């Protein structure tokens, strides 16, 4: 008998492993969808704005159906565990700011983490770190929503749906590039890598 995977199992399978970061994105997406009474997007009905490029974004993609390819996953490089979800049909949007389950800041744990990530940890230290991470994951998945995050219903102007642009050929490498991303170099179309950068250091 084949059992249907749980949402958490689907996220873990997509991401490749379980970790506290994945759990944070999972909880944020679950809470966002619940607040919007939304379902996974087949197209662009939902929009997700993520303010980090960490593990949790994978869970957001799996649960909401918002992806870079569909154009309904927008990335803001703010380094914050904040996720905004919006529904085009209802016009409602919710901002989920995570404050529960973050990395402990004590020096002892930080030193252990550094040893594990540098490959200097022994078996006992790796086991201790793994147990600590498993406890964090369980706490993130089980803690009450009000301890995990702050939820705000927000007003926002939704960006237009993703556009499909024509392509032009870069005169320097010969590869196709979207018109919206093409540059001009020496009077010819150029892709961004071939266009080169100009900066006065400001």
pLDDT at 100 over 90: no
Over residues 80-94, the pLDDT tens digits come to 999 999 999 999 999
Handedness of CA 19, 21, 25, 30 (dihedral sign): positive
Over residues 105-151, the pLDDT tens digits come to 678 888 888 999 999 989 999 999 999 999 999 999 999 999 999 99
Over residues 17-67, the pLDDT tens digits come to 999 999 999 999 999 999 998 889 899 999 999 999 999 999 999 999 999
pLDDT at 199 over 80: no
Over residues 174-189, the pLDDT tens digits come to 999 999 999 999 999 9
Alpha helices in 37-98 (DSSP H): 56-64
Cα-based angle 174, 178, 181 (whole degrees, multiple of 5): 100
Strand arrangement, sheet containing 73-75: 73-75, 46-50, 82-87, 93-98, 149-154
Residue 99: the pLDDT is 92
pTM for this entry: 0.86
Residue 162: the pLDDT is 85
Residue 106: the pLDDT is 78
- For the chain, give every domain's residue range: 7-101+143-154, 163-202
Closest to 156 (Cα-Cα) out of 74, 79, 78? 74
Angle between helical axes of 7-15 and 56-64 (0-180°, round to 10): 130
Where is pLDDT greater, at 110 or 200?
110
For the domain made up of 7-101+143-154, give the CATH fold: 60s Ribosomal Protein L30; Chain: A; (3.30.1330)
pLDDT at 202 over 70: no
CATH class of 163-202: alpha beta
């Amino acid at each position: 008998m084949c059992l249907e995977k749980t949402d958490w199992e689907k996220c873990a399978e997509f991401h490749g492993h379980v970790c506290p970061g994945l759990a944070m994105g999972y909880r944020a997406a679950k809470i966002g969808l619940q607040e919007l009474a939304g379902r996974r997007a087949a197209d662009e009905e939902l929009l997700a704005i993520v303010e980090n490029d960490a593990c949790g974004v994978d869970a957001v993609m799996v649960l909401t159906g918002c992806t870079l390819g569909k154009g309904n996953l927008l990335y803001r490089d703010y380094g914050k565990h904040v996720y905004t979800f919006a529904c085009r049909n209802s016009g409602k949007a919710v901002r989920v700011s995570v404050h529960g389950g973050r990395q402990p800041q004590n020096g002892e744990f930080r030193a252990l983490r550094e040893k594990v990530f540098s490959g200097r940890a022994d078996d006992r230290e790796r086991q201790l770190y793994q147990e600590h991470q498993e406890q964090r994951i369980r706490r993130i998945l089980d803690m009450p929503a009000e301890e995990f995050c702050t939820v705000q219903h927000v007003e926002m102007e939704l960006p237009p749906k993703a556009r499909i642009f024509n392509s032009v050929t870069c005169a320097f490498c010969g590869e196709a590039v979207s018109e919206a991303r093409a540059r001009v170099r020496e009077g010819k179309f150029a892709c961004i890598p071939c266009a080169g950068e100009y900066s006065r250091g400001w």
